[in-house]
Every structure is written in C-alpha cells, then in structure tokens.
C-alpha cells in the first residue's frame, strides 16, 4: 500500500487499545493495521502551511509558515502559557478564535504519561488530549469557565508538581502505575489545596471541583517498546523506514527510531507499507 499527501496530527478513538488514523491529504490510514509491517516515509521536500496552505521552506509551531506563526492567535505564547491569556484585555490577535477556543469550559486534570503531572484542556478535548500525551491514566480535578482560569490554577499547582511529560520515558513505557486520586489527596493535604484556597491563590473564581470523577486508563497498540529512544527527523533524514512496533501519543515507534507525526504536520510525504 502506498499513499501520498500532507501529514496531519493522528486522529484517535478511545478503545482498548487506542485506535489511530493517520490523515494523509484526503486519505485516512488505519495505521493500527500496519503494526508489525515494514513501513517507509519519504519527504518530498515540500511543506504546506496547515493554516493557509502556502509553501514554506521552514515549519514553525508544528506546521505553520512564518506569517501565520506571527499573526494567528493559535500560535500566540498564551497557547503554551495559558495564564498569560490576554483576551480579557482586548488584545487577542483573533477575538473570534479566543471566544471559541479560550472562553470555553476547561478542565484541570492529573495525567500519568511518565509520572503524575498537572495539565489543562478544553472540556470538549477529552479524552483526546490525554491520548495525545501518551497517558496511561488520567483524572479530572476541576472545571472552569475559561482557558485563562485553568492556566492560573495550573500555574499555582505546578509550584509543587510537574506539568511536563518525559517523552523518552513515555515511549519506553517506563511509567509506574499511580492511583491519581490518592496522589491528589496526599499532595492537596500537604499544601492545603482546598478549592477555596486555590481560588484565592490563583484568582480563578470559576473553579468547580469534579468530586465524582473516576480515574480513566488507556492502552496503546504497541508490540515492542524501544530500549533506547532515537528521534527521527524528516528535515535531517528525508527518507526513513523500519518495522512499525507501536503507536503511542502522537508517535510512531519503529525499530529504527521514533517519529513525532504532529511535529511534521504539513510535510508532503509518501508512505508505504509492506
């Protein structure tokens, strides 16, 4: 089988194991079916901006040309640091985007990708967000009315817990099973993180506890985890190949290395499996 088109972030369906589709132009490849097969990915040299479709020599922020990177609200620094959201100041690059993306209910959660971490996402993005991170478990903690409020809570919590994933450990499956509810009880008691105190220290007055949440678990289509993680890069090596050993997060795990599909959004490639 051979397909040609521009790469996009893999689509996921919460199943056991997670089901992945790889968009490639107008096609969607059921990539789980390629497990155990030899695959090759060859970059033509073309990159099309995922926002405006113009050809760009270099990709910025996972698939954007430089003008879009500079102008789009989805590329603003507050996307990575939501506590810096400035929609309420009237200075958002695209107010309509801010209204539809940021001024919507968000969830503050714990996830276990390479160890317990705090994170945030729009309520409509669950459980996709957790799967994209390669989490083996997740637990919603709070619901708020905006990205700004969720970012301020996350900023308060990350003073005493991680907000990052060690992607190498995640891909090697070096992850201990953790009862996230118990982990939260212990750390919240240690730092006296009651809802009222969190509202005060974060300024997020819309904070609402999700008291009946249950820990969710995820499994991934992996037949062999790597002992060492070697990142494959289409900019440096336009043609890569290997046996597909697994899929986790937004990574394809080959016996020759791993490739972050989302990083190369907009890259025109030919993909084949044998």
Q: Domain check: are 49 and 31 in the same one?
A: yes
Claim to verify: residue 82 and residue 207 sit in the same structural domain: yes
User: Which pLDDT score, from 0 to 100, does residue 25 have?
Assistant: 82
DSSP string, the chain: -EEEEEB-PPEEE--SSPEEEEEETTEEE-GGGGTTSEEEEEEEEEEB-TTT--B-SS-BTTTB-HHHHHH-GGGSHHHHSGGG--GGGT--S-HHHIIIIISS-EEEEEEESSSEEEEEEEGGGTTHHHHHTT-SEEEEEEEESSHHHHHHHHHHHTTSS-----HHHHHHT------HHHHHHHHHHHHT--HHHHHHHH--TT-EE-TT---EE----BS---SS--B--TTT-SEEEEEEEEEETTEEEETTEEEETGGGTTEEEEEEE-
Same domain for 64 and 77, yes or no, is no
Residue 1's pLDDT band, with cuts at 50, 70 and 90, is: confident
* pLDDT tens-digit map of 194-232: 999 999 999 999 999 999 999 999 999 999 999 999 999
Tokens of 68: 């879009």
Q: Which of 214, 233, 261 is the last residue of a domain?
A: 214
The count of other CB atoms within 10 Å of the CB of residue 235 is: 12
Residues 80 and 200 in one domain: yes
21 and 77 assigned to the same domain: no
Distance CA 210, CA 94 (A): 31
Cα–Cα distance, 248 to 132 (Å, whole number): 8
What is the phi/psi pair of residue 89, to 5°? -90, -5
* Shared-domain flag, residues 91 and 201: yes
Burial of 57 (0-12, 13-18, 19+ CB in 10 A): exposed
Count Cβ atoms within 10 A of the Cβ of residue 271 and give its class: 0-12 exposed, 13-18 middle, 19 or more buried.
buried
State whether 188 and 245 are in the same domain.
no
Dump pLDDT digits (tens) for 168-188: 999 999 999 999 999 999 999
Q: Quick one: pLDDT band at residue 26, thresholds 50, 70, 90?
A: confident
Say if residue 231 is in the same domain as residue 169.
Answer: no
pLDDT digits (tens, 9 = 90+) for 227-271: 999 999 999 999 999 999 999 999 999 999 999 999 999 999 999
Residue 128 and residue 209 in one domain: yes
22/89 Cα distance (integer angstroms): 39
Domain boundary residue among 184, 214, 244?
Answer: 214
Residue-level pLDDT at 177: 96
Number of domains in the chain: 2
**33-50, pLDDT tens digit by residue?**
999 999 999 999 999 999
- Residue that terminates a domain, selected from 214, 240, 259: 214
**Distance between CA atoms of residues 175 and 220, nearest Å:** 13
What is the domain extent for residue 246?
2-69+221-273
Do residues 171 and 91 both lie within one domain?
yes
pLDDT tens digit sequence for 42-75: 999 999 999 999 999 999 999 999 999 999 999 9
For residues 88 and 60, membership in a common domain is answered with no
Locate tokens 């509202």: which residue? 199
CB 72 within 8 A of CB 51: yes
Mean pLDDT, residues 10-39 taken together = 96
184 and 226 part of one domain: no
Statement: residue 130 has pLDDT above 90: yes
**pLDDT value at position 191?**
96
């Amino acid at each position: 089988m051979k397909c040609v088109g521009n790469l996009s972030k893999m689509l996921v369906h919460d199943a056991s194991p997670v089901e992945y589709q790889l968009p490639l132009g107008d096609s969607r490849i059921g990539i789980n079916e390629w497990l155990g097969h030899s695959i090759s990915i060859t970059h033509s040299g073309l990159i099309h901006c995922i926002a405006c479709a113009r050809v760009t020599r270099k990709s910025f922020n996972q698939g954007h040309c430089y003008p879009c990177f500079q102008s789009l609200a989805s590329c603003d620094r507050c996307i990575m640091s939501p506590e810096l959201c400035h929609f309420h100041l009237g200075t958002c690059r695209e107010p309509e985007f801010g209204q539809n993306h940021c001024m919507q209910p968000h969830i503050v959660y714990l996830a276990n990708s390479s160890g317990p971490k705090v994170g945030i996402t729009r309520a409509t993005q669950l459980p996709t967000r957790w799967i994209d991170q390669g989490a083996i478990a997740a637990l919603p903690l709070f619901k708020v009315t905006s990205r700004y409020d969720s970012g301020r809570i996350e900023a308060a919590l990350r003073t005493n817990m991680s907000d990052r994933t060690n992607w190498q450990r995640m891909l090697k499956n070096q992850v201990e099973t953790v009862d996230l509810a118990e982990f939260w009880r212990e750390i919240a008691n240690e730092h006296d993180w009651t809802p009222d105190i969190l509202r005060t220290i974060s300024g997020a007055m819309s904070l609402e506890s999700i008291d009946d949440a249950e820990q969710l678990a995820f499994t991934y289509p992996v037949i062999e985890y790597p002992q060492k993680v070697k990142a494959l890069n289409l900019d440096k090596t336009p043609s890569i190949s290997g046996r597909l050993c697994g899929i986790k997060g937004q990574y394809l795990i080959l016996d020759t290395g791993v490739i972050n599909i989302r990083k190369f959004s907009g890259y025109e490639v030919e993909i084949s499996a044998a």
